[in-house]
Amino acid sequence: MTPLRQRMLDAMVLRGFAARTVEAYIHAMVGLAKHYRCSPDLLSAQQVQDYMLHLHRDRKLSFSSVNQAASGFKFFYGTVLGRDLRGFDVPFARVPQQVPELLSRQEVAALLTHVPHVTAGTFLRLAYATGLRLNELCHLRWRDVHAEVDRMCIHVRQGKGGKGRLVPLTPDTLAVLQQWRALQPPRPAEPLVPDTPDWVFTARTDRALPLHDQSPQRWYRAAVTAAGITKHGGVHTLRHCYATHLLEAGVDVYSLQQWLGHQHVQTTARYLHLVRPDAAVGARGASLALLTALPLTEPAAMAEPA
């Protein structure tokens, strides 16, 4: 490891950056250095801008991905190297805000009854019922599921930006978790490795590791295809459905902002545009138990993958 890379890592650790942010920023800097085959502290602002243009125009990366790299560059040149960014411009692209393709309650129910196996069904049900991000759900631990009557919630310890939060845990969601835990092999009284995280979803090859985030995306696509749903999206679509369906049920925007882990309420308020016009009649006053509010559909056969 070069001293420059260590300086950047130390600066991010000191500021409490999330692990995924650290990984993304280091990846961006490595790509920049490899592109020019020299240390990034020797590059000019124009060279950095030319590289960002290369990422979008030649490598076909989205503006969101380029902006993530730009954040890493700004941190490196502005914070690590201490340069005046007014003379070292790292621009951000304006990303058009697209309205996500939501699933109706009927489509969510159809998706959940066409999952390929029990693990997929449990994961996707929890994604819809809690609104957790994909990475948050993959890294959920049993110790963070609080089932006490006076404190039923899920403690998200490492959300986006390294922020923690509490998410309501309804009885129907707790039942899904309890059924899933009953299917798990018994854990030893004393873990083989001290302080081993008790992941709710583990990697198939190593139970000491959390579930990789690519597996749920495959499960989602398989369920969508089997259910005959043609709308685009991935597991994150269920988070959009969670937010919109709760707003239709009468949940206020500020509570939903806390549960989703949004820094600004304006981000949450965008879901107001997706609320059905007849929601005040059809859904207002419904409980927070999204799973039991889904329409009944014929369940598909489920079996664990070989």
Query: Domain spanning 3-80 has what CATH number?
Result: 1.10.150.130
C-alpha to C-alpha distance for 87 and 45, rounded to whole angstroms: 8
Element containing residue 125 per DSSP (H, E): helix 118-130
Which one, of 256, 286, 288, lies nearest residue 274 by Cα?
Answer: 256
Which one, of 74, 92, 91, 96, lies nearest residue 83 by Cα?
Answer: 74
Which CA distances in Å does 264 have to 24, 164, 242, 254?
23, 15, 18, 10
Which residues carry out catalysis?
133, 160, 236, 239, 262, 271
pTM of the predicted model, to two decimals?
A: 0.77
List helix spans (H) across 131-187.
Answer: 134-138, 171-183
**Quick check: 197 and 141 in contact, CB under 8 A?**
yes
Fold of 105-282: hpI Integrase; Chain A (1.10.443)
Give the max Cα distance, the chain: 63
- pLDDT block averages, 10 residues each, the chain of length 306: 92 89 94 96 95 94 91 95 88 75 94 96 97 95 92 86 86 95 76 68 90 95 96 94 92 94 90 76 62 81 60
Domain boundaries, the chain: 3-80, 105-282
Q: What is the pLDDT of residue 282?
A: 44
